[in-house]
Structure 1
Amino acid sequence: MPYITLNLVFIGMILLGLYIVIDIIRQKNRNIIKRLVFYSFLFYSIVVIELTTGGITIPPTDNPLFRWQLIPFHFIYDWFSFDRGSWFFWNAVKLSFFNFILLFPLGVYLSILYKVKKIKKAALIVFLTSLTIEAYQFVLGYFGFVFARTINIDDLILNTFGGTLGFITFEWIRKKIANKKFNS
Structure 2
Amino acid sequence: MLHSYLFPISYAFMSFPVAALLFTLPFLIFQYRKYGYVNKVRAFVLYLFLLYLMNAFFLVILPLPASRHNAALFSGAMQLLPLNFIHDILKETSVVGSDPSTYLHLLKERAFLQVVFNIVLTVPFGMVLRYYFRTGWIRSILYSFLLSLFFEVTQLTGIYGLYDHAYRVFDVDDLIMNTLGGICGYLAAEWLSGLLPRIEKLDDHVDLTAKRVTYTRRAIAFMIDSVIWPILMAICFLLHIPASFWVATGIYFILIPWFTNGLTPGKWLVRIRLTKMGERITLAALVKRYGLLYWVFFGLNRLLAGSLDNVPDFARLFLGIVVFVMNAWFFIHLVIHVFKKKPTLFYENISKTRHVILWDSTPEQNEETETHSSEKGRLR
Aligned pairs (5 A) from 1:52-67: 52-56=60-64, 60-65=68-73, 66-67=76-77
The reply to whether residue 80 of structure 1 matches residue 85 of structure 2 is no
* Identity over aligned pairs, percent: 25
Letter in 1 for 2:118: N
- Output the TM-score relative to the length of structure 2: 0.39
Aligned residue in 2 for 1:100: 119
RMSD of aligned C-alpha atoms?
Answer: 3.4
Q: Does 1:43 align with 2:51?
A: yes
Distance 2:27 2:179 in 1: 34
Q: CA deviation at 1:80?
A: 1.2
Contact 2:158-2:164 at 8 Å conserved across structures? yes
Q: Distance in 2 between matches of 1:8 and 1:111?
A: 28
Question: Which ranges in structure 1 are unaligned for 5 or more consecutive residues?
Answer: 1-5, 179-184
Shift of 1:171: 2.5
1:105-158 superposed Cα distances (whole Å, 9 cap, x missing partner):
000010122111x21111111011111111111112564278720110000000
Q: 1:39 to 1:71 in 2, by over 3 A?
A: same
Partner of 1:182: none
2:62 partner letter: G
Change (3 A) 1:25 1:114: closer
Q: CA deviation at 1:173?
A: 5.2
Aligned equivalents of 2:177 and 2:81: distance in 1?
13
Aligned pair in 2 of structure 1 residues 133, 155: CA closer, same or farther (>3 Å)? Answer: same
Aligned residues: 171
Structure 1 segments (4+ residues) deviating >3 Å: 19-29, 55-59, 172-178
CA distance in 2 between partners of 1:146 and 1:9 (Å): 24
| CA deviation map 1:53-112 (0-9, x unaligned) | 00555751342434321110011111112242689x800011010001110100001012
Stretches of structure 2 that go unaligned for 5 or more consecutive residues are 1-7, 96-104, 198-380
Select which of 15, 18, 30 maps to 1:15.
18
Higher RCO, Cα 8 Å, sep 6+:
1
Check the 8 A contact 1:68/1:150 in 2, yes or no.
yes
AA at the equivalent of 1:156: L
Question: Within 2, Cα distance between the matches of 1:146 and 1:108?
Answer: 34
Per the TM alignment, residue 25 of structure 1 is displaced from its structure 2 partner at its CA by 7.5
Q: Distance in 1 between matches of 2:72 and 2:13?
A: 25
Report the Cα offset of residue 19 of structure 1.
3.4
**Secondary structure, counterpart of 2:169 in structure 1:** strand
Structure 1: which amino acid aligns with 2:117?
F
Correspondence for 1:153: 172
In terms of Rg, which structure is larger? 2
Distance in 2 (alpha carbons) for counterparts of 1:47 and 1:137: 16
Q: Does 1:68 align with 2:78?
A: yes
Q: Distance in 1 between matches of 2:196 and 2:50?
A: 26
Distance in 1 between residues matched to 2:23 and 2:78, nearest whole Å: 39
